[in-house]
Amino acid sequence: MSQNPSDTRPNDTASGESDISHGKPASKRRVDTKTRDQSDPRLPAGLYIVATPIGNLQDITFRAVDTLKRADLIACEDTRTTRRLLTHYGISTATMPYHDHSDQARREALLTRIRDGEAVALVSDAGTPLISDPGYRLVVDARAEGVPVIPIPGVSSVVTALSAGGLATDRFFFAGFPPHKSKARRDLFMECAAIPGTLIFLESPRRLTGALADMAEILGSRQAVVARELTKLYEEFRAGELAELAAHYAEAGAPKGEIVVLVGPNNAGPQEIDPASLDRILRAALDRGEGVKDLATTVADQTGQKRRAVYQRALTLKQKKDE
């Protein structure tokens, strides 16, 4: 996963990248998902979701390298970032930018090339596409049209951190990047509080301290791990209770590198919550259209409050909201 800004250049002929709207299909061949002999330089037409390294360039599969070499086009989050990987492995396949801000016309152009018989590989700056990275809309459209979508699995920072973090791995929940603002972050953490497993978040260095402090307040004294610079030279796993980790980074300052935060399951029972925080959670849920009865049950389980008291408070807030 990457937090680098996307390259939105429409055309970059200097580096061998071409805008898809001007490209011609390399060949007109039938869409066929059957396995072909590896000596055949052509790939069956389809959308290939290719995982790439998150740091160490050696963390790429033989199949991924082969796919990138034999594809007709590589759609990538940032062509400059991907070009470094391709150069390292001697891959000369044409590239073009595709990211979350790409419009429907570009997605349709990619799908048209696949329908015309081409193999298009989708990569992100690092890790597995779609896991907090671009590609979701393209895959949805491809599936809706019956276009073959072929996963080429590999490394992901989420699983990499979980595998070596030392917290429970039998059940886990990936929540992606928390919201930037503290109020919205706390609402998210409250929603996650009752999940019976390890929680996994991504976070930027400059927001890490605030996020850890909010986690400590809402989730309580849980064990946690901050994993950063995974697979790189300065890889680090720092473990401790949430409050301890928040204090450490408040004093040490923002760390460098991309960060995965693991939060262990709640083994101490439901966490008590102050009235103001309870009201904030209830209002947020009511704004989302949740029913008072279901909301009362969920929040009571999460906070340790009596369901009847939560129900009455939610009902009062709803009546004020509807006035």
Residue-level pLDDT at 119: 98
Task: Assign 272 a pLDDT band (cuts: 50, 70, 90).
Answer: low
Residue-level pLDDT at 38: 52
Residue by residue, DSSP assigns 223-287 as EEEEEESTTSTT-EEEEEEHHHHHHHHHHH-PPSS-EEEEE----S-PPP--HHHHHHHHHHHHH
Q: Distance (Å, rounded) from C-alpha 241 to C-alpha 35?
A: 50
- Taking 80 as the threshold, does the pLDDT of residue 111 lie above it? yes
Residue-level pLDDT at 198: 97
Please compute the mean of the pLDDT values over residues 245-265 and round it to a whole number.
95
> When comparing pLDDT for 271 and 278, which is higher?
278
- Taking 90 as the threshold, does the pLDDT of residue 195 lie above it? no
Closest C-alpha among 86, 120, 117, 85 to residue 106: 120
Residue-level pLDDT at 232: 96
> When comparing pLDDT for 129 and 293, which is higher?
129
- Taking 90 as the threshold, does the pLDDT of residue 291 lie above it? no
| Range of lowest pLDDT (104-108, 188-192, 280-284) | 280-284
**Helix axis angle, 182-192 relative to 208-219, nearest 10°?**
40
Write down the residue that tokens 């279901």 correspond to: 294
Percent of the chain residues topping a pLDDT of 90: 60
- Taking 80 as the threshold, does the pLDDT of residue 267 lie above it? no
Residue by residue, DSSP assigns 28-89 as ------S---TTSSPPPSEEEEE-B-SS-TT---HHHHHHHHH-SEEEES-HHHHHHHHHHT
Give CA angle at 32 (51, 83), nearest 5°: 30
Task: Assign 271 a pLDDT band (cuts: 50, 70, 90).
Answer: low
Contact 19, 11 (CB under 8 A): yes
Please compute the mean of the pLDDT values over residues 217-242 and round it to a whole number.
95
Task: Assign 305 a pLDDT band (cuts: 50, 70, 90).
Answer: confident
Identity of the residue numbered 300 = A
Per residue in 5-53, pLDDT tens? 333 333 333 333 333 333 334 344 444 434 444 555 779 999 999 999 9
Q: Exposed, middle or buried, 284 (CB in 10 Å: 0-12/13-18/19+)?
A: middle
Q: Distance (Å, rounded) from C-alpha 267 to C-alpha 48?
A: 41
Contact 28, 114 (CB under 8 A): no
DSSP-derived 3-state class of residue 141: helix
Rg of the chain, C-alpha, whole Å: 23
Residue-level pLDDT at 5: 35
Q: Distance (Å, rounded) from C-alpha 108 to C-alpha 103?
A: 9
Q: Distance (Å, rounded) from C-alpha 125 to C-alpha 289?
A: 37
Contact 88, 40 (CB under 8 A): no
What share of residues in the chain are helix, strand, coil (percent, to 5)?
A: 40, 15, 45
Residue-level pLDDT at 19: 38
Please compute the mean of the pLDDT values over residues 78-88 and round it to a whole number.
96
Q: What is the mean pLDDT of the chain?
A: 85
Residue-level pLDDT at 70: 97
Per residue in 123-154, pLDDT tens? 999 999 999 888 999 999 999 999 999 999 99
| Helix or strand holding residue 176 (H, E) | strand 172-176
DSSP state of 194: T
Q: Distance (Å, rounded) from C-alpha 133 to C-alpha 80?
A: 16
Please compute the mean of the pLDDT values over residues 43-68 and round it to a whole number.
97
Percent of the chain residues topping a pLDDT of 70: 85
Residue-level pLDDT at 83: 96
Contact 194, 298 (CB under 8 A): yes
Taking the CB of residue 75, how many other CB atoms lie within 10 A of it?
Answer: 30
